[in-house]
Structure 1
Amino acid sequence: MSVVPSSLLPASSVPAFRGRIGRDVRSGHYAVPHRYRLHLAPAGPGCLSIALTHGLLGLDDTLPLTVLPGTPDTPDGGYTALRPLYEASAHLYAGPSAAPLLSDGWTGRIVSTHVPDILRDLALRFRGEGPDLLPEEHRGEIEAIADLCERSINRAAQRAGELGLDGDAAHHDPLGVLFAALGSLERRLTGSPYVLGDRPTAADVQVWVTLVQLDTVHRWHLDAAAMDRVAGHPALWAYAQRLAARPEFARHLDIDAVLRRHSAHCRGHEAAGAGIRIVDWSGASG
């Protein structure tokens, strides 16, 4: 499996390690109960997505999970506890010892730190008797929804915050992009319990984590009028509230930790839309 130390990648490249779980012993890394361990800080959206997928698949007895504090304990944004794994995996490793991380207990090294690869390998290689989160017939749609969430919701909301209340809307309209994406999801969820029909898929993991971020983090940078429009998608937010009541979704959601992480990294313009949240996430907080 390919592992690329961060020293060989551009400074902006994330992640540093891209090992994959294969189908059988010939692949080097293959699914074996108790061989691997996930190290996650679920205050971050990538780690929360992995933790949620782990819970939906019922992997507690197959793939152990170590939950790290929401706030890193090293100046470069890493975790002291993960340092030995990074140093064992790349000679003279000088980057942050960050989460998420999938480690191999047989070798004492890192398999992957790449969120999309880890999510895919959990769904395809460790599924067992769990639900099919990546059904073949929906994989194209799942990828498109993941892109919609990242580009048209997360990045658009972040961009709106960076522009501030008086941003150059004539040059770039991130709020228009955001509302179009929310409208698309609203139509999908009107009359449907999940994003792609009657059963949860990886698309629900992506959408739900994105809604958590929008209602708890990005709302701090949107004004009251924008948040009123965000809230005006009843099917979408009813879906978010309903899933928040499920143990698999609620288990690793710590809103206070999410907000602490946001405060540590925030670069946006604080607006007036940070009042009452759309969803009462308190029942989902551990």
Structure 2
Amino acid sequence: MPTYTEQGKEFSRDMNYIPDRITREPGRSQDGWVSTGSTSGGELEAPTWPVEPGRYRLVAAKACPWANRAIIVRDLLGLEDVISMGLAGPTHDVNSWTFDLDPGGVDPVLGYERLQQAYFARYADYPRGITVPAMVDEPTKAVVTNDFPWITHDFFFEWRDHHRPDAPDLWPDDVREEMEAVMKRIFTEVNNGVYRCGFAGSQEAYEDAYDRLWTALDWLEERLTDRRYLMGDAITEADVRLFTTLARFDPVYHGHFKCNRNKLTEMPALWGYARDLFQTPGFGENTDFDQIKRHYYVVHEDINPTGIVPKGPELESWHSPHGRERL
């Protein structure tokens, strides 16, 4: 559920997650020393778990943008045979995501009806929200981490021995510093920016969030006018992180979250870029517009109390030619 700051009723996302990491070497990652701390802002010691094919289960939901990025990265890197995946349904109650897509409403590997059970297997009194994505230890059926920025980071750096031979370089060294800055702006102003609009608790907070969002989207439109992807001519983690928001923009954020200056389809560069990614293996087949709409319009009862899910917009144009090969 959304939280608000004391002044102005701005939406504030709780970024304190379970800080554990799954790494090739205990106490150290392939990208630097990580014995303590978390990019989520936590101050807890961050234990590391060993990389072991077949041991962990990614629990995700195609409806959730933060989980969707983990699904896409797992697919892009070819980790399907070494990290199993369980998918929660698009709707949930205040307690937990549920496995209502599976026969009998039970995850076939974990034997759980609710993701909450994996959290409680590790922390009997877990005090925060039950979020996806989550990495779960199959032998103990207990959650390992739900720290979503690190999950996809570690899929690349820590599981690289198990990537398929033609896996993309999602974190290229030559643009790493710039990419980190781009991803930071995308997260604060776009990924989280749409939520600041949708869950604003005052007119002032909403208008400030709206202006910030469109400043960032205009910056992205300009950036993508003369380059195929955010960092040049190859797909990176930055593209995955932006895509999951763009895919939800017209079906959800434009109306439901009041981000309605214009539609994604009215921004030539961003719309072509989004279609380019959608038509790339790993992206489109992991994007379920029906689940996306059901999640937002049914779960957010405070914004949409009727629970009515809109039939539109038209989505067939996602398959139309994008013409960005010329870049």
* 1:239 maps to which of 273, 280, 290: 273
Q: Which residue of 1 aligns with 2:159?
A: 126
Distance 1:43 1:180 in 2: 26
Name the structure 2 match of 1:135: 172
TM-score by length of 2: 0.70
Q: For residues 88 and 175 of structure 1, do their structure 2 counterparts lie closer, same or farther at Cα, with a shift above 3 Å needed?
A: closer
Counterpart residue identity of residue 210, structure 1: T
Structure 1 vs Structure 2 CA RMSD: 3.3
CA contact 1:44–1:258 (8 Å) conserved in 2: yes
Query: What residue in structure 1 maps to residue 210 of structure 2?
Result: 175
Q: Detail structure 1 runs of 4+ shifted over 6 Å in the superposition.
A: 222-225
1:248 equivalent to 2:282? Answer yes
The aligned runs of 1:54-133 (5 Å cut-off) are 54-72=74-92, 74-79=93-98, 80-93=113-126, 97-127=130-160, 128=163, 129=165, 130-133=167-170
Q: Which residue of 2 aligns with 1:201?
A: 236
Q: Structure 1 pair 161/94, CA: closer, same or farther in 2 (3 Å)?
A: closer
Q: Aligned-pair distance for 1:144?
A: 2.4
Which residue of the partner structure matches residue 145 of structure 1? 182
Task: State the secondary structure of the residue aligned to 2:232.
Answer: coil
SS of 1:227's equivalent in the other structure is coil
Quote the Cα distance in structure 2 between the aligned partners of 1:222 and 1:120. Answer: 29
Tell me the residue number matched to 1:33: 53
Distance of aligned partners of 1:215 and 1:143 in 2 relative to their CA distance in 1, 3 Å threshold: farther
Gaps of 5+ in 2: 1-12, 29-47, 99-112, 321-327
Question: Aligned in 2, Cα 1:191/1:276: closer, same or farther, shift over 3 Å?
Answer: farther
Aligned-residue sequence identity (percent) comes to: 29
2:213 & 2:63 partners in 1: Cα distance? 23
Cα separation, 2, equivalents of 1:236 and 1:60: 29
- What secondary structure, in the 3-state scheme, does the structure 1 residue paired with 2:262 have? helix
Q: Which digits, 9 at most, give the CA deviation of each residue in 1:223-275, with x for residues without a partner?
A: 797125x54421111010121122310122111111111121264599xxx89
Mapped contact 2:197–2:209 kept (Cα < 8 A): yes
1:184 aligns with 2:204: no
Deviation, 1:59, is 0.8
Gaps of 5+ in 1: 1-11
Does the C-alpha gap of structure 1 residues 118 and 224 become closer, same or farther in structure 2, counting only changes over 3 Å? closer
- Say if 1:188 and 1:196, in contact at 8 Å, map to a contact too: no
Q: Does the CA-based 8 Å contact 1:86-1:97 persist in structure 2?
A: yes
Q: TM-score, normalised by structure 1?
A: 0.78
Instruction: Name the SS for the 2:290 alignment partner.
Output: helix
Partner SS, residue 38 of structure 1: strand
Residues 55 and 139, structure 2, Cα contact 8 Å, conserved in 1: yes
Describe the superposition over 1:139-194 as per-residue Cα deviations: whole angstroms up to 9, x where unpaired. Answer: 33333233322322244444444569x9449x953333222211221222223221
What SS does the aligned partner of 1:37 have? strand
What secondary structure is seen at the aligned counterpart in 2 of 1:251? helix
Instruction: Give the match's secondary structure for 1:33.
Output: coil
For 2:174 and 2:120, the matched residues in 1 are separated by 41
Matching of residues 259-274 of structure 1 within 5 Å: 259-263=293-297, 264-265=299-300, 267-268=302-303
Q: Residue 103 of structure 1 aligns to a residue in which SS?
A: strand
Task: Work out whether residues 19 and 112 of structure 1, in 8 Å CA contact, stay in contact via their aligned partners in 2.
Answer: yes
